[in-house]
Amino acid sequence: MKIVLGITGSSGAVYALDFLKKSTADKYLVVSKWGKVLLKDELKMSEEELQPYVKRQFDDRDLTAPIASGSNHFDAFVILPCSTSTLGKIASGIGDSLITRTAQVALKERYRLILCVRETPMSTLALEQCAKLSSYGAVIMPISPPLYFVPQTVDEYVGAFTEKVLAAVGERRGRGWRSEELE
């Protein structure tokens, strides 16, 4: 399985790091200019420190990267976290960065596109853009971890959402609410 991960400048870098650590797929990384700031501010990390978790990283300014072409297959594109600016560009068909262009490729080729929006409250415009992209086949996953497992630590809280994203890309399934009753 090939998964492309985009990191934009919306709060939530810890979720991206957890996703990279837990995913067993071949991962390709793109970090926006503001995503780099986010990594530094929230995790005290540089994008270079994510290299052990990915097969390859591409520069967000490189619109000639192979993931910018529909002739190269990948299974899913996850933007985690996804800023509302990135959401708006994708919803408007703007492909001015590798992240937004790769989203266009995912939509046109019908690859799984998962946008993990981290914004609250959401404006009516952002909600309309989410609905529009959902109607085109994108999966909108606001960063909202499930609490039915009663997480005891921040890592458990973060991991609960990451497990939902991994399930959404088809990599694996976490336990569900009262899932033992289905066995």
* β pairing state of 112-117 and 76-82: parallel
Among candidate residues 91, 133, 93, the one with its CA nearest the CA of residue 114: 133
Assigned fold of 2-182 = Rossmann fold (3.40.50)
What is the residue-wise DSSP string for 10-31?
Answer: SS-HHHHHHHHHH--SEEEEEE
Residues 14-60: tens digit of each pLDDT: 999 999 999 999 999 999 999 999 999 999 999 999 999 999 999 99
Would you tell me the crossing angle of helices 98-109 and 84-92 to the nearest 10 degrees?
50
Q: What is the pLDDT of residue 174?
A: 65
Residues 123-139: tens digit of each pLDDT: 999 999 999 999 999 99
Token output for 160: 């609960």
Tokens 């989203």 belong to which residue? 103
Token output for 6: 């985009």
Q: Phi and psi for 33 in degrees, rounded to 5? A: -55, -45
